Amino acid sequence: AQSVTQPDIHITVSEGASLELRCNYSYGATPYLFWYVQSPGQGLQLLLKYFSGDTLVQGIKGFEAEFKRSQSSFNLRKPSVHWSDAAEYFCAVAIYNQGGKLIFGQGTELSVKP
């Protein structure tokens, strides 16, 4: 069955430090991968997506992610974190031929220390 795993429930980083959020997926075919961010009490905002092509994708707010098929991973990175990046981050995979249904990971809560 398709699944998405985010191994880190909660991460704390200092402002200005680099960030990497991990995401592993289980999917038999080429995955359609997404990273979303959710601020407290808000909806989800798409940061970036990967369908095919260049395995390093750039997103909004200075985020990037790298698709590694050999490791079944799609980790999210940011070189320098800002206090406003504190939020919940969800990795998701869209299942082919199931009408855009997204399978989400459990989420990683990011806290930023001043």
Partner 1 sequence: DTEVTQTPKHLVMGMTNKKSLKCEQHMGHRAMYWYKQKAKKPPELMFVYSYEKLSINESVPSRFSPECPNSSLLNLHLHALQPEDSALYLCASSQTQGERSKQYFGPGTRLTVT
- Quote the least distance from Cβ 91 to partner 1, whole Å: 9
Q: Does 105 bind partner 1 (CB under 8 A)?
A: yes
Number of residues that this document lists for the chain = 114
Question: How far is CA 93 from each of CA 37, 41, 114, rounded to the nearest angstrom?
Answer: 14, 23, 33
Q: Does 101 bind partner 1 (CB under 8 A)?
A: yes
The stretch near partner 1 (CB under 8 A) out of 14-22, 35-43, 57-65, 74-82 is 35-43
d(CA 54, CA 65): 11
Q: Does 83 bind partner 1 (CB under 8 A)?
A: no
Nearer to partner 1, 18 or 30 (CB): 30
Q: Does 49 bind partner 1 (CB under 8 A)?
A: yes
Question: How far is CA 78 from each of CA 2, 36, 40, 59, 113, rounded to the nearest angstrom?
Answer: 27, 14, 20, 10, 15
- Of 18, 98, 111, 113, the one binding partner 1 by CB under 8 A: 98
The residue type found at 82 is H
- Residue 46's nearest CA partner among 61, 56, 24, 28 is 61
Q: Does 80 bind partner 1 (CB under 8 A)?
A: no
Question: In the complex, which residues of this chain contact partner 1 (CB under 8 A)?
Answer: 32, 36, 41-46, 49, 51, 90, 92, 94-102, 104-107
